[in-house]
Amino acid sequence: MSDWIIETHRLTRDFGSLRAVDQVDLQVRAGSIHAIIGPNGAGKTTLFNLISGYIKPTAGRVLLRGQDITRVPLHRMAHLGIGRSFQITNIFPTLTVLENVRLAAQARGRDNFRLWTSAAKLRAYTERALAALHQVGLHERALQIAATLPHGDKRRLELAILLAGDADILLLDEPTAGMATEQVPMLLDLLRGIRQGTNKTILIVEHNMSVVMSLAETITVMHQGRVLAEGSPAAISANQAVREAYLGTAFAGGQP
């Protein structure tokens, strides 16, 4: 059985005359933390949208555990174990923290379109939601309205939503965007703990190079819609082409 949980083959996406993603071959190892970096306009978020099914490719294929999912409808992606976060927090602001997470658990179950759900099943979804909140350290805020959370806690809530939905693969788009500097180490520890405790696969797009270098095991560098380089953090840091295209201006060094 292949070690690759996600693969793309010559994945391409055009927007009119603009080619945002150009024949990208990507392989993500199961249970790894894999980062995608590159300058603005490199095609990173478009690649995420293709992998997660939010848009469909002009050409090429996306494989999940060796199975072609290129044309699978978006609403089926969560049931395949793919969870996606966005650069802007995507929660129900007027619901409580617990309600946000419980809805995710219920959506993954068989009761997502049922008006009436038995008390026993509702308790099961609530227990799963509370377990996810414990995992991200938000259980003490379960009854708080989501809109009142600080930004860093909203990011943690998004992770709890993905975990309650039982996603095997977490696609995180700029997870540290908008976070205060002092909140970043806590998020990194949380992601490491999720990976070590559950063996989930984490694929991230991130501009903070200190975060990428300290967290990722494999880094893919995109430039003008194509893969420029791929390798370990040490190999990417030493790659002259990468430094000229991106790291020379983006990487300030140090650990978060």
Res 250: pLDDT: 57
Share of the chain above pLDDT 90, in %: 59
Q: What is the mean pLDDT of the chain?
A: 88
Which residues pair with residue 18 across a beta bridge? 15
> pTM (2 decimals)?
0.87
Distance CA 176, CA 187 (A): 8
Three-state secondary structure along 7-53?
EEEEEEEEECCEEEEEEEEEEEECCCEEEEECCCCCCHHHHHHHHHC
SS3 content of the chain, % helix, strand, coil (to 5): 40, 25, 35
pLDDT of 233 strictly over 80: yes
Structure tokens at 219: 């880094």
Q: Where in the chain is the domain with CATH 3.40.50.300?
A: 1-81+173-178+200-256
In the structure encoding, which two tokens stand for residue 253, read together?
Answer: 């060094």
The C-alpha angle with vertex 48 and arms to 82 and 155, in degrees rounded to 5, equals 70
Band of residue 57 on the pLDDT scale cut at 50, 70, 90: very high
Q: With bands split at pLDDT 50, 70 and 90, how would you rate the model's confidence at 249?
A: low
- What pLDDT digit, counting tens, does each position of 69-125 carry? 999 998 888 889 899 887 767 789 999 999 999 998 888 765 554 544 555 678 889
What are the strands of the beta sheet with 67-68, ordered from one edge? Answer: 18-29, 4-15, 59-64, 67-68
CA dist 56 and 74 (Å) reads 10
DSSP state of 246: I
Q: According to the model, what pLDDT value does residue 78 have?
A: 81
- The strand pairing partners of 15, in sequence order, are 18
**Residue 21 CB contacts under 8 Å (≥ 6 apart), including other chains:** 11, 12, 13, 43, 46, 47, 50, 57, 225
Question: What pLDDT sits at residue 183?
Answer: 85
Lowest mean pLDDT among 3-7, 110-114, 236-240: 110-114
CATH, range 1-81+173-178+200-256: 3.40.50.300
Whose tokens are 């995710």? That residue is 104
